[in-house]
Amino acid sequence: MLALCAMAPVAQAAPSGRVVGTLLRTGEWLVHQLREYAVHEAIGFGLDALGITEAKANEQELKTLEKQLEASLAASAENSAAKQAELREQLHAADVQLAALRQLQTQRLSAADTQQLRDQVEDSMQRILTVINEHERRLDALERDLNALKTRVAQIDTPPPRAAAPYNAGTAMGAGAGAAMLPPSFNCGNARTGPEKLICNDRRLGDADGRLGTIYENLRFFLNSAEFIQVRDDERRWIRWRDERLATDCARGGQVDMNCAIGLWETRIVQLQGKLKSIQQARGEPNKASGR
């Protein structure tokens, strides 16, 4: 302001109209400048005051917010601790339930596995029984075929006698009719079957069985193993044929006709004696044994 006033010209004499006009314009300009300056200063002062007030208000609000935040954090921490404890309890309960479920599942699986194993064992046993039954049927069929074959072979190798001539002790005993009788070819203490007991209970039949056994021993002396096995099999077939004849031809009225029975043995003795004689002649051996 003082600078502006100093810049104004100083009148030394009475001013003229032009000068007065200039002074008036200068004064108006100065007033205008002063007003603007006052307005700016007032505005600046108001802004400063307003800024201080707002700053204080903001600071108070910040403090309030800080307190609220601290309270919220504290409450949140308490809630968090409570929640954590609750979650731990729930987790523990869940673990207990899970363990129980696992145990129950294991028991169910164990029971299921046991039942499955039982079913498998039963199926296996059923299959085994089926296979065994099938093999038994096959064996029965084979045994029937084999028996039929043995029967045909026996009919070929040892045909029944043409005529069952009455037993004559003198002719049947041969030249040594006065010789001592032989015991049976087996131990009578081990007799089990009907024909065996019949042999042991009749001396004549026992003598015929003993002579038949002697001929077999002589055949064993002259035959090799394979040949004697063949003779032994042939003898088994004859025994079956003999037992059938005893039951059908020699059993009369509940009693056994001993002459008929002895005739079966004597017929077999004649057959084997002929076989033994043929073998001895083929090998150039003397007739060492005739069954007596």
Across the range 50-55, mean pLDDT stands at: 62
CA distance 25 to 20: 9
Side-chain half-sphere exposure of 120, counting CA atoms within 13 A: 6
Q: Is 266 exposed, middle or buried (0-12, 13-18, 19+ CB in 10 A)?
A: buried
156 compared with 55, residue with greater pLDDT: 55
Q: What pTM was estimated for this model as a whole?
A: 0.39
CA distance 95 to 82: 20
Q: Decide if pLDDT at 214 tops 90.
A: yes
Contact 224, 287 (CB under 8 A): no
CA distance 172 to 175: 9
pLDDT at position 212 is: 95
Distances (CA, A) of 277 to 176, 213, 282, 287: 18, 16, 9, 7
47 compared with 101, residue with greater pLDDT: 101
pLDDT at position 200 is: 95
| 68-127: pLDDT as tens digits | 777 776 776 676 677 778 878 887 887 888 888 888 877 776 777 778 888 887 777 777
> For residue 251, what is the enclosing H or E element?
strand 251-252
pLDDT at position 169 is: 37
Contact 272, 238 (CB under 8 A): no
| 138-168: pLDDT as tens digits | 776 666 666 555 555 544 444 333 333 333 3
93 compared with 188, residue with greater pLDDT: 188
Q: What is the mean pLDDT of the chain?
A: 74
User: What is residue 252's three-state secondary structure?
Assistant: strand
pLDDT at position 270 is: 95
* Lowest mean pLDDT segment, chosen from 61-65, 96-100, 224-228: 61-65
Q: Decide if pLDDT at 7 tops 50.
A: no
215 compared with 98, residue with greater pLDDT: 215
User: What is residue 230's three-state secondary structure?
Assistant: helix
CA distance 210 to 176: 14
Q: Decide if pLDDT at 10 tops 80.
A: no
Go through 182-218 and write b for each residue having 16 or more CB atoms within 10 A of its CB, e for each that does not: bbbbeeeeebeeebbebbbebebbbbbbbbbbbbbeb
Q: Decide if pLDDT at 269 tops 90.
A: yes
pLDDT at position 239 is: 93
How many residues make up the chain in this entry? 292
